[in-house]
């Protein structure tokens, strides 16, 4: 995956055919974090902690549903994600990039949580944990490339390619 140019408020990325398949496959795993992974409070006693936690969980579930719908629309939009010769092109606004970084982070962290949150995920690699490790690593790969594209497009004095 490489950044091609910024034009008209969009940053364009080029993906190889295998990267485009992997990108879509990884994004299809969203959401990955367990629903109750984010506690409202880690130590403070709240007056109605159970009800407040339910409200938080419901709000996060709704946000994930909306994100999933938006993700499906983005990947199906031929103006945003399309074949271009032998490769694929992905056109994103800077806001889209930041949003995709959050989606990929959910997948990356969720994969790590499903492995049992190990300090070294390679230490106890099994067939079962290998899938999550691959999801974790490949999500990081796409995050790194999206960040590089976002940062390159915002550098002052850098010509758009």
Domain membership of residue 159 (yes or no) is no
Domain membership of residue 44 (yes or no) is yes
Domain membership of residue 27 (yes or no) is yes
Tell me the CA end-to-end span of the chain in Å, nearest whole number.
Answer: 16
Q: How many domains does the chain have?
A: 1
Domain membership of residue 48 (yes or no) is yes
Could you tell me the two tokens for 141? 């790969």
pLDDT reading at 101 higher than 80:
yes
Under the banding of pLDDT at 50, 70 and 90, the label for residue 157 is very low
* Cα diameter, the chain: 60
pLDDT in tens, 21-63: 999 999 999 999 887 666 666 666 767 767 877 888 888 889 9
Domain membership of residue 161 (yes or no) is no
pLDDT in tens, 72-85: 999 999 999 999 99
With beta carbons less than 8 A apart as the criterion, state whether 99 and 25 touch.
no
pLDDT reading at 145 higher than 90:
yes
Rounded to two decimals, what is the model's pTM? Answer: 0.83
Domain membership of residue 35 as a residue range: 2-153
pLDDT reading at 160 higher than 50:
no
Domain membership of residue 160 (yes or no) is no
Domain membership of residue 158 (yes or no) is no
Domain membership of residue 108 (yes or no) is yes
């Amino acid at each position: 995956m490489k950044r091609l140019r910024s034009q008209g408020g969009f940053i364009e990325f080029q993906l190889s055919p295998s990267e485009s398949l992997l990108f879509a496959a990884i994004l299809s795993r969203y959401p990955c974090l367990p629903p109750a992974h984010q506690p409202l409070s880690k130590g403070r006693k709240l007056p109605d902690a159970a009800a407040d936690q339910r409200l938080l969980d419901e709000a996060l579930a709704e946000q994930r549903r909306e994100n999933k719908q938006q993700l499906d629309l983005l990947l199906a939009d031929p103006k945003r994600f399309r074949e271009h010769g032998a490769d694929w092109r992905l056109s994103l606004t800077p806001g889209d990039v930041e949003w995709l970084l959050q989606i990929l982070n959910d997948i990356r962290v969720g994969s790590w949580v499903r492995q049992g949150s190990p300090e070294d995920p390679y230490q106890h690699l099994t067939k079962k944990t290998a899938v999550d490790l691959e999801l974790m690593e490949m999500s990081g790969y796409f995050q790194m490339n999206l960040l590089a594209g976002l940062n390159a497009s915002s550098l002052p004095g850098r010509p758009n390619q």
